[in-house]
Amino acid sequence: MTNTTTPQGVQTVIKLADLMKPPAPKPERFVLSDEERHEIEHELTHYPDSRAASIEALKIVQKHRGWVSDEAIPVIADMVSISAADLEGVATFYNLIFRQPVGRHVIKVCDSISCHLTGYDELRDALIQQLGVKLGGTTPDMRFTLLPICCLGACDRGACLMIDDDLHGPIEPAQVKAMLEAYQ
């Protein structure tokens, strides 16, 4: 999520010495843990067609690792008997499947109409200010990722948000700092 931007105008110089170096080691082969494999196999029993377990399988890997890496895709695809490209299409469709590393805690702040009417703008600004990241960003210490999300179905508690599995609302901007303290 953190972008390392290269200053504009800096030229990349290819040095002969760099070309002589041995190639960087390949990333370690992705292996599902026994626990992940066992949980996915259990999900497979819920459907007459294995690909129906795709989304659950992605969620299982994400539960254990925080996100779903490119390397994980072919391995999960094998388990649900579809191609990696097919699973990639599924994995990139759903906003609750994270394809980049996220912080230890994921904040999902509702930006739909009821929360818009009850203080979303102020809540979002307070979060951005407190965390020092924009929507979609992760704090450098990997503690928080801040994401917008559509209606959380808690409109009577707007403006609301979720942190990990916990629903909070209504939240006033002044309460943001104390609320975040509970998530280290």
Partner 1 sequence: MSLRSAADPQYQRPLTRLIDRAAGPLDRAGFEAENGYAGLKQSIKELTPQQVQAVVKDANLRGRGGAGFPAGVKWSLVPMGPDAGEKYLVCNADEMEPGTFKDRLLMEQAPHQLIESMILVGYAMQATRGYIFLRGEYIVAADRLNAALKEARAAGYVGKNVLGGEWSFELFVHTGAGRYICGEETALINSLEGRRANPRAKPPFPQIAGLWGRPTVVNNVETLMNVPHIVLNGADWFKNLSQGKSKDSGTKMYGCSGRANKTGTWELPIGTTARELLEVHAGGMRDGKKLKAWLPGGASTDFLLPEHLDLAMDFDTIAKAGSRMGTGLIAVVAEDQSIVSAVRNLEEFFARESCGWCTPCRDGLPWSVKILRAFENGQGQVEDIEVLSKLTKWLGPGKTFCAHAPGAMEPLQSALKYFRHEFENGLAKLPAEAA
User: Interface residues with partner 1 (CB under 8 A)?
Assistant: 46-49, 51-56, 58-59, 80, 82, 89-90, 93-97, 108, 111-114, 116-118, 149-158, 162, 165
**R_g (Cα) of the chain, nearest Å:** 20
- CB of 152: closest distance to partner 1 in angstroms? 6
- CB of 126: closest distance to partner 1 in angstroms? 18
Closest listed residue to residue 176, CA positions, set 135, 139, 138, 128: 128
Q: Which is nearer to partner 1, 112 or 130 (CB)?
A: 112
Q: Which is nearer to partner 1, 110 or 127 (CB)?
A: 110
- CB of 118: closest distance to partner 1 in angstroms? 6
3-state secondary structure of 91: helix
Q: Which is nearer to partner 1, 95 or 132 (CB)?
A: 95
- CB of 105: closest distance to partner 1 in angstroms? 15
Tallying the residues shown for the chain, one arrives at 184
Where do we find the tokens 């450098």?
140
Rounded to whole angstroms, what are the CA distances from 105 to 20, 126, 143? 42, 17, 6
Distance CA 146, CA 65 (A): 18
Q: Which is nearer to partner 1, 53 or 75 (CB)?
A: 53
Q: Which is nearer to partner 1, 117 or 182 (CB)?
A: 117
- CB of 129: closest distance to partner 1 in angstroms? 21
Q: What one-character DSSP code corresponds to residue 181?
A: H
Residue 73, Cβ neighbours under 10 Å: how many? 23
